[in-house]
Amino acid sequence: MSTMENVQLLFTFIGGLGMFLYGMNVMADGLQKSAGDKMKRLLQFLTNNRFVAVLVGLGVTAIIQSSSATTVMVVGFVNAGIMTLGQAVGVIMGANIGTTVTSWLVSMSEWGSMLQPETIAPLLIGVGAFMMLFCHSEKKREAAEILVGFGVLFVGLSFMSDSITPYKDAPIFATIFRVLGSNPLLGILAGVIVTGIIQSSSASVGILQTLAMNGVVTWNSAIFITLGQNIGTCVTALISSIGAQKTAKRAAVIHLLFNVIGTVIFGIGMTVLFFLLPELAVSKINSVEISIFHTVFNLTNTIILFPFANYLVKLSEMIVRDKKGAEAEEEEAAAEQLPQLDDRMMETPSFAIANTLNETIRMSELAIKHVNTAIGAVLTGNEKRMEKSRRIEDAVNEFEKLLMHYLEKLHNLSLTEGQSKLVGDLMYTVKDVERISDHCDNITELAEDLRRSGLSFSGEAQEDLKEMTELSVEAIQATIDARRVKSRAEQQQCIDKVTMLEEEVDSLRNELRDKHMERLAKNQCSTVQGILYLDILSNMERISDHALNIAKYIANEIEEGAA
């Protein structure tokens, strides 16, 4: 074979590998879009029942076609405090089972001629392309994306297989797989390195299966390489845990421990088996048999280690130890104050958006606390309340900065129309909540002016301010409730409540302004008191306006969802 032909075949293999990886990515992206809400519901099933957690991990990984992505999400959830380590163990176990789905897809070509890449790929790509061009329904376009990704994946497999076929009798393949098969540690190391570089066990197993389709892979080499691939897939989660909290690092370590322990058990067992059956060790393995072993390994490993899940958690705690003293206290205080956002969750946008929504609600609750603290400073003249108000303002500003940065990154991801709309509305919401806090800061400054002047409001004026504060706080709380409730009818009730409360605040502001003018006319308060009082009323009224803005965003989401 000429040098030019060798180069062409090399280019064909590289192109096929690229299409295989790209097809997997496109297919997973389409599956995530179409099944995002289902995955959120799966997450809601997470309880302390570890068996349920295993099923959740299996289901999510089957949807997104990547155990690495699922485990990275788990690291993010643990880091954000959404998931406990006990729950994480079950999800990680399920993820390892779920990743075997891809190997079964790759081996479809050996099930029958109708399922071979050259037969099915053109149809999938053709149907998917026509749907993308002529279908306007978002759901149909997501289905088209899945079909095209599936088709491109198959074309990539075909290219890789075709480029290897001329070399299937080449001595180099026999030598490589004989060496890897005869030395278990070397075979496992090869699997770790290749998977660590590609950062996808599904992809590396797919490459091995492509070689097996051409009859160049032996049983012993395939087994040890596959075991190594299961360890190599832990690299992604370990990298993602760098810079995370200790619990997130422990989740990544649990993933590594799970696969290393399983590899040791199966490595020893298969070495003994191949010693007893040397003919099996050197016989050729096909892609279906690799799929079977991959599935048996992950299922058996889960069954063996499931009863010892708590010990895996304890072992991870021994490896990643707690910090002691003041350093630990500072770390905990910082974790409580800042929003728990994690780029690892962006592997699955639906989860990342759900978490961002929760943090936006937490920011809104902080704004309510700020309203009460600022008015408390006005009514009591207490300096500690004023200091507390300033601390809350700093915290809200930090929330705004971090949330906006995270939402901007989310907005640049591949999102559905509904997700894109929600991310945009959350950006507006964060801005409105920050403005609420700014008005509270204004009220605190007015409280300081009142204290410095040695003045205070009358009992009647204070009662009126309390009433207006209660209405404004109730309006903000109603926007939070609108985000938390499930049904559209309940959401609409909350929105109507905000609208009604905002009108009451406007009406009360006018009423209190008139009452204040009467007090001024009767010389019952000074001009300075009057200016400060009216400014406080104005800021309180604007707080309710921002609450109404947030309610309108939610109302628009309801209308668009119903359309």
Whether the pLDDT of residue 331 is over 50: the answer is no
User: Please, what is the average pLDDT of the chain?
Assistant: 83
Better-scored residue on pLDDT, 303 or 415? 303
CA atoms within 13 A on the CB side of 175: 4
Q: 171: buried, middle or exposed (CB in 10 Å: 19+, 13-18, 0-12)? A: exposed
Q: Among 129-133, 293-297, 502-506, 559-563, whose mean pLDDT is lowest? A: 559-563
pLDDT at residue number 292? 92
Q: Residue 47: which pLDDT band, with cuts at 50, 70 and 90?
A: low
Whether the pLDDT of residue 258 is over 70: the answer is yes
**Are 475 and 547 in contact, with CB atoms under 8 Å apart?**
yes
Rg of the chain over Cα atoms, rounded to whole angstroms, equals 30
pLDDT at residue number 329? 47
| CA–CA gap between residue 237 and residue 99 (Å, rounded) | 15
What confidence tens digit (pLDDT) does each residue in 120-131 have? 778 888 998 888
At 61, list the tokens. Answer: 């990984």
Whether the pLDDT of residue 351 is over 90: the answer is no
Give the mean model confidence (pLDDT) for residues 362-370: 93
Q: What are the percentages of helix, strand and coil residues in the chain, rounded to 5? A: 85, 0, 15
Give the mean model confidence (pLDDT) for residues 474-483: 94
Q: Which CATH number fits domain 348-562: 3.40.50.300, 3.40.50.10090, 3.30.379.10, 1.20.58.220?
A: 1.20.58.220
pLDDT at residue number 486? 73
pLDDT at residue number 1? 57
Q: What single-letter DSSP state applies at residue 344?
A: G
What confidence tens digit (pLDDT) does each residue in 68-108 have? 767 777 777 777 666 778 888 888 899 889 888 878 877 77
Widest pairwise Cα distance in the chain: 108
Tokens 């197993």 locate to 205
- Domain coordinates of the chain in residue numbers? 3-319, 348-562
Whether the pLDDT of residue 328 is over 60: the answer is no
Q: Residue 265: which pLDDT band, with cuts at 50, 70 and 90?
A: very high
Q: Residue 336: which pLDDT band, with cuts at 50, 70 and 90?
A: very low
Q: Residue 335: which pLDDT band, with cuts at 50, 70 and 90?
A: very low
pLDDT at residue number 439? 95
Whether the pLDDT of residue 442 is over 60: the answer is yes
User: What is the DSSP code string of 359-398?
Assistant: HHHHHHHHHHHHHHHHHHHHHH--HHHHHHHHHHHHHHHH
Whether the pLDDT of residue 137 is over 70: the answer is yes
